[in-house]
Structure 1
């Protein structure tokens, strides 16, 4: 009886095996040189972070032999771009190139978030790490960080600071809390909007990552202090807030690459290897040297572990600043 069952099942088993073979044989190798790879950046074009993404895209294009295209999807503190990456096909042709703002700060500030930064994505590799800098516009033409904070302390609610991401909003609040001052937050949709108003004298201060605001130094924006324990080697003349007695303000911005959950392991490995090579390319090395930032080579599980620790750290900071669930 057993042999009879086997004889009847044999054609079906053979057909299944043949179908599996055909599917494997016909599987498209990754990457297909004729298909573009999207590098989704959830922030505006023209920023220095965008320039960093384009440096990576150029290096990836050469290594993968495929056209890697930066696609800017700004809006809602990065939520629009990250959501677009989340819903993309998990086939390796969409990479999310984003920052701690979307991956560890937004989950605490938004009451409802359209994505889960841990469960909706696979972490590939860290790409850049940079220190945040406190800077002012023409409305505060001279003086130090201590002078600005002193003026804000004497005039509660009179001075303003700009933000364009959850991280820049948090940075301003953390400085205010440490210094015991009260100034108003003016939120903007993009870096360029914020800096345009700052240069126009409509907002006083911003705390943002160096690559983003450095291009505006020559236009009238003046750096006051680094939000870190030590001065930046590329900008040794900018003091730290710690030098003014605010040692607890230590804010590092970081950026990383992700793919949607469900992307095959062999594809994620190809992309991780290529991103690792890109970090050592002339394009990225030139970008890093120009803005005095660091590479951030955490990969896979190490990046995931770091992100989870950052989620906990920033959760406390958001609560301390009174911003939990405010959006």
Structure 2
């Protein structure tokens, strides 16, 4: 066979090996490279820790890494905007949360993203409660004593949140209103600096995830006065709930979910949902999260969308009653 004919035949064989019968290029299975997930808090945050547990299982199941990209600050707006503007291919996701999806729309006059139109739901992720902790020097061992102490020095007692406009911030707003006190809000970019300033005594109180406070509570550096969950936590059974102490409006369940940019294809959303649900249902994740006071919340995309809509209505009413706006 002449060399020219041989090369033509070889090319035809190679082409036939790489093209399906339809004559179009085969698409690689999703995911075929690492998936980036943007989180609204600094590294070391409790949600960041929980996500890393899931990332290990995700890689075991898919062969691809789940790369965590921290974009803290701005009440989650920075992270949300980054993902809203990302390519809708499933390789950039958002660890969305209570603040950016269901509180921000009611506290900010204008947002650079729309919680419903800028994203597609993938799956709910986790739920947890917060605690109200105070520095060990605060002369109070329950809410009644703290309220009395705060009333005796109006405007002089401060409380920290893990970011402005978040549920931890808003918890203090609600307590101020319901108890008739005047705590000063001090926001931080993430849980670690808020904890650091509470332990150091730069702020008197804080609303924070239980796990972040627990070691300092055990060391006697802080006191925990109340928990926002409906029932007492198994990790702190001696700490009464807000409801038990006469503040039912402070029964607050904070959550985080997985969202993708609007326009992400159905097939990609479906695969992501399958993998995240599989990871959340794994014994490894459930056991490690239980020790962190986190509950796994696997769901379908539609279930997450309905959940967020209901939670947004709840916060809309709370914001309206308090009169709080993010510009304050």
TM over 0.5: yes
User: How far, CA to CA, are the matches of 2:202 and 2:306 in structure 1?
Assistant: 41
User: How far, CA to CA, are the matches of 2:101 and 2:47 in structure 1?
Assistant: 16
Higher helix share: 1
Residue pairs, 1:1-327, within 5 angstroms: 25-32=25-32, 35-140=33-138, 142-165=140-163, 166-218=166-218, 220-326=221-327
User: How far, CA to CA, are the matches of 2:212 and 2:269 in structure 1?
Assistant: 29
| Counterparts in 2 of 1:148 and 1:22: CA distance versus 1, 3 Å | farther
| Counterparts in 2 of 1:226 and 1:156: CA distance versus 1, 3 Å | same
Do the aligned partners of 2:289 and 2:296 also contact (CA within 8 Å) in 1?
A: yes
Gaps in structure 2 of 5+ consecutive residues: 1-18
Do the aligned partners of 1:230 and 1:240 also contact (CA within 8 Å) in 2?
A: yes
Q: For each residue in 1:31-63, what CA deviation from the matched residue of structure 2 results, as whole angstroms up to 9, or x when unmatched?
A: 11xx21112111110111110111111111111
- The alpha carbon displacement at 1:187 in A equals 1.6
Do the aligned partners of 1:276 and 1:297 also contact (CA within 8 Å) in 2?
A: yes
Q: For each residue in 1:290-316, what CA deviation from the matched residue of structure 2 results, as whole angstroms up to 9, or x when unmatched?
A: 122212223211110110111111012
Q: For each residue in 1:141-197, what CA deviation from the matched residue of structure 2 results, as whole angstroms up to 9, or x when unmatched?
A: 652222111111222212111112221110111122222211111122222222222
- The alpha carbon displacement at 1:212 in A equals 3.7
4+ residue segments displaced more than 6 Å: none
| Counterparts in 2 of 1:80 and 1:216: CA distance versus 1, 3 Å | farther
- Secondary structure of residue in 2 paired with 1:291: coil
TM-score normalised by L of structure 2: 0.87
- The alpha carbon displacement at 1:22 in A equals 5.2
Q: For each residue in 1:213-268, what CA deviation from the matched residue of structure 2 results, as whole angstroms up to 9, or x when unmatched?
A: 33443452221101233212332111112222222321110111011111111111
Do the aligned partners of 2:161 and 2:168 also contact (CA within 8 Å) in 1?
A: yes
- The alpha carbon displacement at 1:325 in A equals 4.7
User: How far, CA to CA, are the matches of 1:215 and 1:259 in structure 2?
Assistant: 35
Instruction: Report the more deviating stretch, 228-237 or 295-304.
Output: 228-237
- Secondary structure of residue in 1 paired with 2:99: helix
Count matched residues. 307
- The alpha carbon displacement at 1:275 in A equals 0.5
User: How far, CA to CA, are the matches of 1:209 and 1:113 in structure 2?
Assistant: 26
Do the aligned partners of 2:41 and 2:189 also contact (CA within 8 Å) in 1?
A: no
TM-score normalised by L of structure 1: 0.87
Do the aligned partners of 1:279 and 1:285 also contact (CA within 8 Å) in 2?
A: yes
